[in-house]
């Protein structure tokens, strides 16, 4: 099947073949700007045309109205009151702007004309020209005599009774408006070209100003690697609000990436260390067992030791898998969980370990304290909490209290008489793979118990509190929000999460 190259600008086109932002802006805005300026120039020229022609037609309309005013109210065509002696009626020279007047009877016979008509170098025919209706767009009706152009207007004269007395015909030399309009049009054309070029240049400059920080972000993005995450976008003080917001958001993204990469590196190093130590011990036991022949009982003892070590590795890997799934999957479906019953069940599960160490394990729970959550996750959190309490307590006991806070939230508190922690250790106790000094000497562990508890509580929008005193014990409190009415009353296992120790 033949593969055709991608069309530039299509979604699957390579970045280098896509049109630039500046080009797209010019191609989209440029024609609109040029067209808008062209329309404005056309409107300006049309306004000038209308003004010139309206002024010319108004001059003739004024003469017609004066004639009608002088003749109005009569039943006969009496023209004696009209101002025939005015200079522009007597003279035909350009300096007085002559107006040529002719009056005709209804049947087209010339009755009287202004004296300046006789001063023209050619004979003016005594003929009435047609009456043209007035339109919205002013136009000049012209004729030519002796190589000179005239424009005219012919209108009827009416008696007081409404009858037609005759016609008045007024003419005037055509003003030199065409050359004026052509000159004005040429000036508008030049201005249109100048403004179009200027605005296109302004658009190109604005596009470059917008693209400058984007190029900076692109350069930073290309220079950032997993080994070099310190580079940041420089935001100049003159940057626009949107540009500054984009730059700050990109820098914040780099900060988060740097934090996550640093956490991933620490997590990888700790995980490698935590897995290497027991694996090395396992390898040592195997090598020791293979050096010489041993009794069956000795081999069974070695296998039991390997089983314990491998069980610890499996629990560590399950804890890591649970943390990874919580980080990746986020929100989960919730149901009502009976926290009192759950705490009692988990206490029964760790009771043999407590009896083996001679510890008192007690549960004091209010009747049916309910919380909104994922049952399997909450069960893991309580199991890890009790396992830690029993593991790091030499003598005394572990007490579990389940109740509600003053504002109706579910509360589970586990108090032990174990080795305890300092304030500095409490501040970092929930970090992954962290183990306190005294706890590390007392028992083996992965350092994931409290970090898993904290992550589960966070996913339930709850709160984890640590209070501890070295040599006296630790109190861990889990606060979970009160269930809402929309949470189903059943407790289905919506999300399968691997078992952890």
pLDDT of residue 152: 93
Q: How many CB atoms lie within 10 A of CB 398?
A: 24
- Delineate the domains of the chain, giving CATH numbers in brackets: 17-223 (no CATH), 329-480 (3.30.565.10)
CB 190 within 8 A of CB 38: no
pLDDT of residue 79: 86
Measured CA to CA, the distance from residue 79 to residue 67 in angstroms comes to 8
Angle between helices 339-357 and 375-391 (to 10 degrees): 30
Q: List alpha helices for 125-176, DSSP H.
A: none
Would you give per-residue pLDDT tens digits along the chain (501 residues)?
444 454 555 555 555 567 777 777 778 888 888 888 889 999 998 888 888 888 888 889 999 999 888 887 777 888 888 889 999 989 988 888 899 999 999 998 999 999 999 888 888 888 999 998 877 777 788 999 888 899 999 999 988 777 888 999 999 998 887 778 888 889 989 999 999 888 888 888 877 777 777 777 778 778 777 677 777 878 777 777 877 888 888 888 888 888 777 767 766 666 665 566 667 767 777 777 777 777 888 778 778 777 776 766 666 666 666 656 655 555 567 788 888 899 899 899 889 889 998 999 999 888 878 888 888 888 888 888 898 888 888 889 999 999 988 888 899 999 998 888 887 888 777 776 666 655 555 555 556 778 778 888 888 888 988 888 888 889 999 999 887 655 555 444 434 444 443
Report residue 132: phi and psi, to 5°. -105, 135
CB 417 within 8 A of CB 408: no
pLDDT of residue 497: 42
Rounded alpha-carbon distances, angstroms, from residue 104 to 142, 209, 227: 19, 74, 104
**β-sheet bridge partners, residue 169:** 102, 154
The pTM for the full model equals 0.45
CB 150 within 8 A of CB 126: no
Q: List alpha helices for 334-422, DSSP H.
A: 339-357, 375-391
- In 3D space, the residue among 165, 171, 155 whose CA is nearest the CA of residue 71 turns out to be 165
pLDDT of residue 433: 61
């Amino acid at each position: 099947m033949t593969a055709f190259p991608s069309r530039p600008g299509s979604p699957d086109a390579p970045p280098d073949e896509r049109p630039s932002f500046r080009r797209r802006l010019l191609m989209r805005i440029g024609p609109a700007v040029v067209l808008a300026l062209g329309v404005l120039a056309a409107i300006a020229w049309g306004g000038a045309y209308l003004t010139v022609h309206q002024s010319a037609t108004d001059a003739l309309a004024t003469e017609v109205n004066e004639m009608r005013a002088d003749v109005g109210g009569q039943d006969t065509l009496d023209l004696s009151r009209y101002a025939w002696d005015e200079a522009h009626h007597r003279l035909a020279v350009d300096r007085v702007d002559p107006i040529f007047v002719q009056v005709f009877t209804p049947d087209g016979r010339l009755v009287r004309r202004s004296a300046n008509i006789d001063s023209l170098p050619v004979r003016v025919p005594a003929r009435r020209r047609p009456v043209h209706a007035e339109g919205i767009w002013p136009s000049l009706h012209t004729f030519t005599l002796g190589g000179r152009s005239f424009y005219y207007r012919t209108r009827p004269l009416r008696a007081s009774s409404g009858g037609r007395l005759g016609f008045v015909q007024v003419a005037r030399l055509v003003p030199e408006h065409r050359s004026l309009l052509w000159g004005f049009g040429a000036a508008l054309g030049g201005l249109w070209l100048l403004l179009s070029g200027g605005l296109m240049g302004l658009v190109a400059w604005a596009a470059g100003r917008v693209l400058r920080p984007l190029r900076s972000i692109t350069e930073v993005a290309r220079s950032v690697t997993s080994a070099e995450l310190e580079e940041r976008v420089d935001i100049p003080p003159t940057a626009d609000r949107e540009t500054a917001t984009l730059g700050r958001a990109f820098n914040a993204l780099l900060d988060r990436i740097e934090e996550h990469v640093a956490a991933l590196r620490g997590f990888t190093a700790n995980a490698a260390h935590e897995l290497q130590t027991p694996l090395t011990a396992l390898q040592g036991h195997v090598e020791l067992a293979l050096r010489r022949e041993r009794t069956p009982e000795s081999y069974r003892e070695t296998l039991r030791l390997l089983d314990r070590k491998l069980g610890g590795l499996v629990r560590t890997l399950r804890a890591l898998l649970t943390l990874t799934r919580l980080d990746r999957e986020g929100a989960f479906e919730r149901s009502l969980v009976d926290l009192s019953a759950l705490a009692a069940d988990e206490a029964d599960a760790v009771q043999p370990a407590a009896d083996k160490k001679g510890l008192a394990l007690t549960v004091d729970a209010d009747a049916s304290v309910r919380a909104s959550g994922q049952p399997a996750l909450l069960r893991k959190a309580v199991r890890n909490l009790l396992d830690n309490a029993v593991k790091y307590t030499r003598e005394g006991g572990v007490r579990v209290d389940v109740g509600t806070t003053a504002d109706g939230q579910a509360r589970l508190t586990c108090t032990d008489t174990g080795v305890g922690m300092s304030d500095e250790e409490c501040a970092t106790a929930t970090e992954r793979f962290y183990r306190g000094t005294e706890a590390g000497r007392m028992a083996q562990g992965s350092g994931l118990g409290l970090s898993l508890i904290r992550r589960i509580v966070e996913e339930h929008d709850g709160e984890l509190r640590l209070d501890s005193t070295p040599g006296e014990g630790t109190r861990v409190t889990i606060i979970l929000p009160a269930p809402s009415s929309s949470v189903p009353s059943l407790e289905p296992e919506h999300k399968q999460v691997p078992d952890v120790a």
